[in-house]
Every structure is written in structure tokens, then in C-alpha cells.
Structure 1
Amino acid sequence: MEIERRHAPVPGELLDYLRANPTPPQGAEGGVHVHVHHHYAPAAPIPADHIVHQGPQQSMAHKILPYLWTALLACVVLTICAAVLATVLVVVVAVLAALALLGLVIAYVINSQTGAIAARGKAAMDAAKAEALGRKRR
């Protein structure tokens, strides 16, 4: 009787026991069928937050789907940011145009006041010259 040894040697006491107590033939072949059980240390426990995948492998579409949702969310966020930026830029351009127009109005007022002051000054100068000439003639 040959005992199959696959993983670990079988102790001699077990061999003696099996030779002394053969089991009745099983199956069509006859003979003794012996199973050697190996006891290993238990595996380390799986942490509670560890992801355990069970079932068949995911298809490529299922693997890529979370990335597509992330890309869609990023596109929505970037579109909203672009819209806000465009609105702010329109307001900034309008404010700058209003400031430029205000500067032009102020420049026109200053220019017209300067002309008026110059005209008054010239009139005063002419009056002073006329008065000076009038005094000389007397």
C-alpha cells in the first residue's frame, strides 16, 4: 500500500495505524484512499475598512465609469467657474469704461473752465489796459 505524500511527511504512527486498519475498497479501482489534512495558521483578519471584491471581474466599462463621473463633475465645475469669470470680466470692463467716460467728462469740464477763466482773465486784462490808458489820457 502506497501513501501519497503531497505537502508534508506523514508521521510513522499514522502509517502503522493505516496499515493495521485498512479501509474497505472505495470506487471502481479499489484500494485505500487516504486524505492528509494540513492545518495552517489562520490568515490575518481583514481590516474593517478594507475593500473586498467578490464575484466576477468587472468589465472595462464598469472600471472606467467612476473616472467618467469624475470627469463630468470636473467639466461642470469648470463651466460654472468660466461663467462666473465671464460675468466678473463683463462687470470689470463696464466699470473701466465708466471710469474712462468719467475721466473724459472731467477733462472736458476742466478744459471748458480753463477757457472761461482765460476769457475772464483776458477781459480783466483788457479792462485794466483800458483803465490804464484812460488814466494816462487824463
Structure 2
Amino acid sequence: MEIERRHSPVPDELLGYLRANPSAAQAAADGGVHVHVHHHYAAPPTVPAGAAVHQGPEKTVAERVIPWLYTALLACVVLTLCALVFAMVAVVVVAVLAAVILLGLVAAHVINSHAGAVEAKAKAEALAARSKHRRR
């Protein structure tokens, strides 16, 4: 009979008892005795209700970092789109301000020209009135 010794040795007393008293469940197919050794360990600590239970092997560094990298990539894409929209709005605002400044300069030139024309007309009328005055 060959006894499988994986974890701990089986006491000789137990081997002797099993050889002397084979039961139907323990009888192996080749006529020997099959011994199955049970190991009893301390019960694991109880987990409080609602607590997260970690199962399986611990995650690697890459498995923990990759979700954060995807989040950072998404943030970069969103910020790039926001910067693009801001740049387009800024171009429109600069064009509108340039148009308003140009309109103001044209209006100032027209007003200046009109004021100059009014002054010239007033001088011409004053000269005409003086010259009429002198004739009499």
C-alpha cells in the first residue's frame, strides 16, 4: 500500500488501524487501502455585512494604473476640444472688435469731415456777408 503524503505525515497508529479495519469505502480497486487525509485550518475571519470582499489574486500595477490612464486620456481629449472651441470664439471676438474699431474710425472721419465742411461753409458765408456789406 502506498500512502500519499502531501502535507503532513500520517501517524503509524492510524496506518495500523486502517490496515486492520478496511471499510468498503476505503478499499481501493487494487486491494490496497486508500487513505484520504483531511487538513483542518483555522476559520478565516468573518467579513462584516456590506463590506467589499477581494477575491482572486491581487491586481498588478498595470491593472491598477490603466483605468487612470484612460481617464487622463479622456480628460486630455475634453480639454483639447474646449481649447479648440475657445480659439474659434476668440477669433470671432477679435474680428468683431476689429470691425467695431474700424466702424468707429470711419464714423470719426465722417464727423470730422462734416465738421470741417460746416466750418468752411460758415467761413464762406461770413466772407460773402462781409462782401455784401462793403458794397453798400
TM-score range, shorter chain: 0.5 to 0.7
CA distance in 2, matches of 1:43, 1:55: 17
Indicate which of 35, 39, 48 corresponds to 1:45.
48
CA deviations 1:75-122 (Å, max 9, x no partner) are 011101101110111111011100110011101101110111011101
How many residue pairs get aligned? The number is: 103
Higher RCO by CA contacts (8 Å cutoff, separation 6 or greater): 2
Q: What's the counterpart of residue 114 of structure 1?
A: 115
CA distance in 2, matches of 1:43, 1:111: 92
Question: If the length of structure 1 is used for normalisation, what is the TM-score?
Answer: 0.65
| Over 3 Å off, 4+ runs | 35-40
CA distance in 1, matches of 2:99, 2:131: 47
Question: If the length of structure 2 is used for normalisation, what is the TM-score?
Answer: 0.66
CA distance in 2, matches of 1:51, 1:101: 67
Q: 1:43: Cα distance to partner? A: 2.6
Q: Which ranges of structure 2 fall in alignment gaps of 5 or more residues?
A: 1-12, 17-38
Q: Which ranges of structure 1 fall in alignment gaps of 5 or more residues?
A: 1-24, 29-34
CA distance in 2, matches of 1:63, 1:88: 39
Q: CA RMSD in A?
A: 2.7
